[in-house]
Amino acid sequence: MKRFFFLVLAVLLLLPTIGQASAEEAPQSACTSGGDGTAESPYVLCTDSDLELLRIHPDAHFELGADIHNMGPWNSSFFFSGTLDGLNHTISGFFTTGAMFYSLQANGVIRNLNLGQGVVSDISGTVASLVYNNYGLVDNCSFSGSIGAQYGGGGLVAYNYGEIRNSRTSGSVGGWSAGGIAISNAGVISNSYSDSKVSGVYYAGGVVSTNSGVIQMTEAHGLISRTIYSGTPVGSDSSYYFGGLVAKNNTAGTLDHSYAYGNLYGNDGSKVHYGGLYGSNEGSINESVGYGQYFANDSIAPTAPGNVVVTSIKQDSITLTWDASTDNVGISDYHIVDEGKINGWTSSTTYTATGLEPNTTYHITVTAGDVFNNRSAESIPVTITTETAPEQGPPVFYKGINFNGSAVTVGGNVWLAESVAGVTISSVQRHAGDINLLPSVDNDTNTMLNTAIYANKTININQTLANGGYEIYLWISETNKGHSRTFDVYLEGFRQATYGSIGSMPLNEWRKYGPYKVWLQDGNLNLDLIKINEANGDPTISGMEIYSTDLVPPPQIDTTPPTAPGNLRLVSKTHDSVTVEWDASQDNVGVDSYDVMQDGVVIDQTSDTTTDFSGLSPNTTYSFTVQARDVNGNQSNPSEELLVTTNPVSAPEPIFVKGINFNGSGYFIEDNMWLAEDDASIVSTSTARRYTDNASLQPAVNDSTSMMLNSALFSDDTFSISQQLANGTYQIYLWTIETYLANFRSFDVKMEGAILSDTPIGTMPLNEWRKYGPFTVTVQDGVLDMELVKVFGDPSISGMAIYSVDTE
């Protein structure tokens, strides 16, 4: 049963990875970089260049807004004390010689992040994929790829002193000491899963190589093998430890409800220790088992992969296939290599290398490996040249964008207003002026330069463009303070160093920077203007001019807005929510989304023709309108206004708390069980006389009610009753009879010090009864204090019913 439970846990932990492939195939919504780094408004990272903000602001809050592919080389030498929420997005295709973060500090958090198709290697060091030294929290993170180093390799973390939970690894990990999740653990690893193949010279464990902390509710499924080092490593007379879960569990280590299923492969020896759960244990084991078996070492290498064939060649990728190698114990992986330019791993007989350069020659070989880390000879090299980029001609004007301004004509070309240019921009501030700038320019150009966007950190601009070559010009003006700003230009994640840092100029002057040459392969131009440091002012931009260097005519510019959404109508409402729907707008190129406004403020953007508003106030009137937006950013007129008043909050139904029969027994009255006075937790009753009768009362009642009414308390003066009750608001009903003389008595009802009866009660014909109430009262001291205040005759009471009217 335990094994079945953890297999289910393993499947659940892998669900984000399983769903990842289909998510990558589906179109993703546009990601807009932005935020200010606070917990309420974290920096949104959309591109590989955005990731530099992690290094610039290591104590800020971040989240991924999209998957980031082909991240490329990464320098990990920084300490991170902020938070990074990957929102289950994936960063893939990165190459590093360390880890993504050198140190995650004690208050740092990384969660919901997937690292895929990564290669982390160092021929003379120690490596991991995500964090080198972890003192913080790693939660719901994953890695798939290759980890290899001389000294040590950890699948997710090198050295864990903090907490790793709900995380998973797959691929391969190798080093003198190696662990599927971490090299060593002195913290906590919980609810995690490793499917990594782990190979070590001295230590190898499915989860960690050495454990001095706690590992609980965690599984390892990958195979464990010993690597025979060809040289003479330092400490070669040491012992060797290999375990399905941990290589060595030290004195302070605890293994709790954790399991290992992978087999172990190696060679025997007096100093070699293998175990399905651990190689060596000096610590605590609780409900933890290793199911793997040990197989003696094999030194026979696989045959070399044969018949390597290229099945696809593009400008930026190639696809290879080959005949499977053979081996006496089975093939575990294939390694595809080209002198450091390509470094790929796969378990299948096909592989696609991406992120390549156009018109570039690659010399590729493939080797096969088995479970004992025996590697085949290289395949016969294959020489491949990627396709040549399309022929380029003289630059052709493609598009001009006037940021924060209207359409203008600059240099004989019609520029678009930012609002219709189909551009997405990070969070910025806006400026408009009316200054005659130098050098002197025509009116339209001067108008364009007098409008701008700016930000105190980074401006990120994304523009959808057809793949191909472009030249970009940036127009900047200075209307605040001379030489007050300097910033760097990044295109497609790379700093443009040709013209150096830009932006510094005298007051009321302008500059045109460029051309910046760029080749697009993903249909999107990414421009970042990055502030160098706090002393260098705010990045700003007035205009961007785009020229195509391909022999392709620019597309027609669409400026036709959609029709206004029709028949905006109410679908349903409650006291705190409203659902509305509308008829779809029409557009010549297609409606992309609808901006839904509440009281004039956009609070939702949807591609549907219905939306919900929540968190509203009861009995309040709200105004709703909708505007349509097409794929080119053209916006329709607003729909007709819809006014909706939310429902009032309904009063709660009173809940029966207690009924008390004074001077009598317990009975069912009005379908509720009443208590005898002696059982009712009455704190005190002032001096009163007691009365019992069997009079036939009017109006007629059932026997239980008649017996309740025929027992009573009365006094010839005012008397009081105190009843224990929890603090809260109640409705009280009082039952009285008259069996002495008609219209003999009259008294007021006083509760918690206040007269609650509008007129005195108790006056009625002989042998009749009355139920008075409800009297609403709030108890604040745990006791209900009631007085029956004499007007004339003797105040009397037979029963009291108590109902709670609190809403919680």
**Can you list the domains of the chain with their CATH numbers?**
2-296 (2.160.20.110), 306-385 (2.60.40.10), 392-550 (2.60.120.430), 566-645 (2.60.40.10), 655-804 (2.60.120.430)
Lowest mean pLDDT among 15-29, 167-181, 232-246: 15-29
Do 157 and 164 meet the contact criterion of CB atoms below 8 Å apart? yes
Q: Tell me which of 144-158, 168-182, 554-568, 704-718 is least confident.
A: 554-568
Q: Which amino acid is at 48?
A: D
pLDDT of residue 476 exceeding 90, the answer is yes
> What number of other Cβ atoms are within 10 A of residue 581's Cβ?
15
Q: What is the mean pLDDT of the chain?
A: 85
- Binned at pLDDT 50, 70 and 90, residue 35 comes out as confident
User: Does 378 score more than 70 pLDDT?
Assistant: yes
Q: What per-residue confidence (pLDDT) applies to 645?
A: 94
The DSSP letter of residue 674 is P
CB distance 723 to 681 below 8 Å: yes
Cα of first residue to Cα of last residue in the chain, in angstroms, is 42
pLDDT value at residue 769:
94
SS3 of 418, please? helix
Predicted local distance difference test score (pLDDT) of residue 581? 95
Burial (Cβ within 10 Å: 0-12, 13-18, ≥19) of residue 681: exposed
The amino acid at 189: I
Over range 496-506, report the average pLDDT.
Answer: 76
Spatial separation of the C-alpha atoms in residues 436 and 166, rounded to whole Å: 60
Taking a C-beta distance cutoff of 8 angstroms, is the pair 128, 160 a contact? no
Max mean pLDDT among 376-390, 441-455, 485-499 falls in 441-455
The Cα 141–Cα 245 span in angstroms is 19
Gap between the Cα atoms of 620 and 599, Å rounded = 12
Average pLDDT over residues 691-703: 92
Residue 479: strand, helix, or coil: coil
Rounded Cα distance, 615 and 774, in Å: 34
Residue 599, judged by CB atoms within 10 A of its CB (0-12, 13-18, 19+), counts as exposed
- 674, 799 contact by CB (below 8 A): yes
* DSSP-derived pairing of the beta strands 294-296 and 264-266: parallel
Residue 431 exposed, middle or buried by CB count within 10 Å (0-12, 13-18, 19+): middle
Q: Is the pLDDT of residue 75 over 70?
A: no
Which string of DSSP letters, residue by residue, matches 16-56? HHHHHHHHHHSPPPP---B--SSSSSPEEE-STTTTHHHHH
Band the pLDDT of 23: cuts 50, 70, 90: very low
Which three-class secondary structure state does DSSP give residue 444?
helix
| Percent of the residues in the chain that have a pLDDT greater than 70, as a whole number | 88
Q: Cα–Cα distance between 87 and 116 in angstroms, integer?
A: 15
pLDDT confidence tier of residue 345, bands split at 50, 70 and 90: confident
Rounded Cα–Cα distance for residues 350 and 689 (Å): 100
- For residue 581, the surrounding DSSP H or E stretch is strand 578-583
Rounded to the nearest angstrom, the gap between the alpha carbon of residue 264 and the centroid of all alpha carbons in its chain is 38
Opening angle at CA 600, ends 594 and 602, nearest 5: 40
Residue 497, token pair as written in the block: 């160093």
Coil, strand, or helix at residue 104? strand
pLDDT, tens digit (0-9, with 9 covering 90-100), for 402-451 = 999 999 999 999 999 999 999 999 989 999 999 998 989 999 999 999 99
- C-alpha distances in Å from residue 648, one per residue of 59, 285, 574, 619, 638: 46, 60, 8, 4, 29
Q: Count of CB atoms within 10 A of residue 250's CB?
A: 17
Q: Which residues are within 8 A (CB) of 40 and not within 5 positions of it... i.e. 6 or more apart? A: none
Residues 6+ apart with CB under 8 A from 211: 184, 185, 205, 246, 248, 249, 250, 253, 255, 283
Mean pLDDT, range 476-493, rounded to an integer: 87
Nearest Cα to Cα of residue 795 among 731, 738, 753, 751: 738
Distance, in Å, from the CA atom of 739 to the CA atom of 765, rounded to the nearest integer, reads 9
